[in-house]
Amino acid sequence: MMNVLFLCTGNSARSIMAESYLNAAGGHFTAYSAGSTPTGTPNPFAIKTLEKTGVGVRTGDGGPPASKSWDVFAAPDAPIMDVVITVCDNAAGEVCPVWPTRPGEAAPRKLHWSFPDPAAAEGSDEEKLAVFKQIFGDIRAKIDGLIAERS
């Protein structure tokens, strides 16, 4: 099983959608998400997008969706990450914590996938939801590539 951590600044939209989709895809992965400056709650449009696409919210720990600090995953008792993926440019430019590793193993593989922030979308609720669906489609395509790479 490969553990994947998706990072974003607020951990309210892109990272939550990525975590849920990879967990829904099953296979050899368990996904988690976190943020450098978590908002405290997932964006309702992210949750609605996951529900409308049939993915639903699927957290790595099986609990309810939450916006949490990346410090949770730097703790000694945290799950060991194999891959850490930043999904926003702001988080990619920040100094990340040191992630725990398995004895004798290197630090997790780090990737950066740049996606626009759907939470910045303006307009009606329908227009905002359309932006979230577009970004979710882009996230899904990148994750499908990661899954194919592992197969």
Give the C-alpha separation, 43 to 95, whole Å. 24
- Range of weakest confidence among 8-12, 20-24, 77-81, 106-110: 106-110
The active-site residue, picked from 81, 88, 91, 143, is: 88
Q: Is 54 exposed, middle or buried (0-12, 13-18, 19+ CB in 10 A)?
A: exposed
Provide mean pLDDT across the span 122-130: 97
Give the pLDDT confidence of 50-81 residue by residue, as tens digits: 999 999 999 998 888 899 999 999 998 999 99
Q: Which fold has domain 2-150?
A: Rossmann fold (3.40.50)
Quote the pTM value: 0.93
Give the C-alpha separation, 130 to 49, whole Å. 9
Inform me whether the pLDDT recorded for 120 exceeds 90.
yes
8 catalytic residue (yes or no): yes
- 140 pLDDT band, cuts 50/70/90, is very high
96 catalytic residue (yes or no): yes
The active-site residue, picked from 5, 7, 8, 81, is: 8
Inform me whether the pLDDT recorded for 11 exceeds 80.
yes
Contact 132, 121 (CB under 8 A): yes
For residue 119, which of 4, 6, 15, 5 has the smallest C-alpha distance?
15
- Domain range annotation of the chain: 2-150
Provide mean pLDDT across the span 82-92: 84
* H helices present in 40-124, as ranges: 44-52, 89-92
Inform me whether the pLDDT recorded for 94 exceeds 70.
no
Phi, psi for 146 (deg, rounded to 5): -65, -40
Give the C-alpha separation, 15 to 13, whole Å. 6
Write down the pLDDT at residue 104. 83
- 145 pLDDT band, cuts 50/70/90, is very high
